[in-house]
Structure 1
Amino acid sequence: MEASQKLNKAFELFDAANSEDPNEEVFEGVPFPKELLYSQRMTAVLDEFEPDASVALQLTARCQHICRWEIPRDSYEMNRVGYLQWRQELKKFHAEKAAQILKEVDYDSQLIDRVQFLLLKKKLKRDQETQTLEDVICLVFLKYYFEPFLVKHDDDKIISILKKTWKKMSEKGQQAALQLNFSEKGKALIAKALE
């Protein structure tokens, strides 16, 4: 199988898995399985932000939340410790799930290891691709999820989240974030967070 066919096959299998998501998100009047829509947004933002991304990074972006609903947030204590445990478990779960699918497509162990390394967010700030993945995750949040989030939470919480998001991003990611379209309230809170 050619490299591009392999990549498309992996995307197809990731998308098929994410199509099983019982949670829906309506986008432009059309309901989508939530994680399917998220994964396609990850690919679109990566293609724009890093058009020459490696195969490993393209695969990782597409499966970053694979089958996330299988480990619900409320299966852990609803506090900071519970949240962090849940996030750690999810990373391992996504890495396992991705490896199974990539083996089916006949990717070699070196590439699978690299995708798992990226999914586990190893060496953030020190590994260029881990950092690019983090930038894309933050950009997807800011582009698609920030404004709906804004109406559900108070300003202090939003500012705190924006500060944490900003800290995780590279300078290139931050510059790309500032080019996004935000509401007046969104812009004001971002300005406040960056003071």
Structure 2
Amino acid sequence: MSFSKGIDASKNEFRQRAKNNLKKLSSQFDKDTRSMMATVNFADSQLYADTKTIFTFISKKTEINTRFLIEKAFTDGKEIAIPRVNEKTLDFYYLSPEIPAEEQLEPAAFGIQEPLTSLEKVDIQHLPIDSVFILPGLAFSPDGTRLGYGKGFYDTFISHIYENVSPLYFPKALIGFCFACQVFENLPQAEHDIPLTHIITEEKIISC
């Protein structure tokens, strides 16, 4: 087995372990309660106070619920942008705070919802200053390693930013947003993986 195949096999093992941990969360009420606690942890942080624009994902049923975060951000006058898959990467669109979020979404692949293309598209070459990115994933570790679902959309997107965009527009933080049961002491990582700056769970904020 080659080194890269060994890394892939190890990553898949941790993905499965994370999935098993998620299955142990007792109910949707339990997940929502933990999601609200994680939202409070973020909202009480300096990271949140210092940003005007939050790039986040629309969660699936198995993931931490980002809708509480979106509602809180709108209440506090912040901008929210969410992703839409475009071939092998992502485009982001701003949600309007004047319209219910669900009316600005449509069903897409992989059991997720995506923004309507009629919404305002984010100019990736000129990201809002001091923006933060909230990233999904299956498994995370305190050194900033993130294991996604294996599609590579976020890895490709973030790499494009750091390779092609002026440092002036780099995001202020790359944040893994997840349940505590998805955080592992160590995870396998490849050389090209871009580390997170923080992980936020219902228990605490981890600086990576």
TM range (shorter): 0.3 to 0.5
- Higher RCO, Cα 8 Å, sep 6+: 2
Length-normalised TM-score, structure 1: 0.34
Length-normalised TM-score, structure 2: 0.33
- Would you tell me which structure has more strand in proportion to its own residues? 2
